[in-house]
Amino acid sequence: MVRSYSLKKFGGEHLLSPHFKLKEFASKDGCDTVLVSDELLTMLERLRSYLNGTITINSGYRSVSHNKKVGGAASSQHLFGTAADIVVRKKGEIVPAKLICCLCQTLGFKGIGYISKNAVHVDMRRLGRYRGDERRGYAGNVGGDFYRYFNVSEKQVRALAATLPAAAKSVNKEEEMTQQQFNAMAERYFAAKNDEPASGWSKEARAWAEKAGIINGMANTMAYKGCCSREMAVTLIYRLYRLLAKEQ
Ligand SMILES: [Zn+2]
């Protein structure tokens, strides 16, 4: 979703996401309106956290007149608030744009353009994908794959994130997870749910059901937050049926 902000109303220091301020995306001609896409912010935060680095936004939103002035493409994503031209630093050093193009491709940016050896255009356009070497114009002219175009290996890109934060690491783990690992995780999850205390709102019903013998405990807990299988459900109904039959 693209949101519209007023610089006057929110102020340049207004945080759009944990690490990006409104002024960083403002059109350089001083235009009060600033359009910024939520998806773009999410992806920039993702890139930042993956690298444990910093991102400088050279150009975010552009008004129509400013886009013309800087020679942007006629239907540039910058006009819609869905694009940013960035320079990425890790430990103060600029990360080569070739590697950033590849990393952004892996992370799932919709549009990626190589601008110069330091700068990269990224966008979250609604339709289609874009992979371009902007030294040669604004066409998708890299054959769709920056790794192949720049002859960069996945290993080189992964080396950028030697200090991978938990979020990025778990993404890789997820790809490699076996069925057994998943089952073990699910078992731990359900066991933990069984141990959770019941909520107050069910107090009366629980007291009645326990007294009437409709429900009883398992492994030292009543497991009220646990899942109910079909055999459990049918047993609960059967116990209620027997109880009602006895009362008649
Ligand atoms: Zn751009």
How many angstroms is it from 64 CA to the middle of ligand 1? 14
Could you tell me the distance, in angstroms and rounded to a whole number, from the CA of residue 61 to the centre of ligand 1? 9
Q: Which of 8-17, 26-35, 188-197 has the lowest mean pLDDT?
A: 188-197
Taking the centre of ligand 1 as the mean of its atom positions, its distance from the CA of residue 31, in whole angstroms, is 18
pLDDT in the model for residue 161: 79
- Expressed in angstroms and rounded, the spacing between residue 83 Cα and the centre of ligand 1 is 6
Cα–Cα dist 157/130, whole Å: 20
54-58, 177-181, 242-246: least confident range: 177-181
Kindly tell me if the per-residue pLDDT of 166 is higher than 60: no
Decide: helix, strand or coil at residue 167. Answer: helix
Give residue 140 CA to ligand 1 midpoint distance, Å.
13
Residue-level pLDDT at 182: 80
d(Cα 152, Cα 89) in Å, to the nearest integer?
Answer: 19
The pLDDT tens digits for 76-99 are: 999 999 999 999 999 899 999 999
Unique residue bearing structure tokens 């874009």 = 130
Q: What letter would DSSP give residue 33?
A: E
Confidence band, pLDDT 50/70/90 cuts, at residue 162: low
| CA-based end-to-end distance of the chain | 61
pLDDT tens-digit profile of 12-28?
999 999 999 999 999 99
Residue 163 has pLDDT above 90, yes or no: no
Q: How far apart are CA 157 and CA 227, in angstroms?
A: 43
CA of 241 to the centre of ligand 1 (A): 69
Structural domains of the chain ordered from first start = 2-163 (3.30.1380), 177-247 (no CATH)
Each residue of 94-151: pLDDT tens digit? 999 999 999 999 999 999 999 999 999 999 999 999 999 999 988 889 999 999 999 9
Q: What is the pLDDT of residue 9?
A: 96
Q: In angstroms, what is the span from residue 132 Cα to ligand 1's centroid?
A: 11
Please say whether the beta carbons of 12 and 23 come within 8 A. Answer: yes
- pLDDT bucket at 172, cuts 50 / 70 / 90: very low
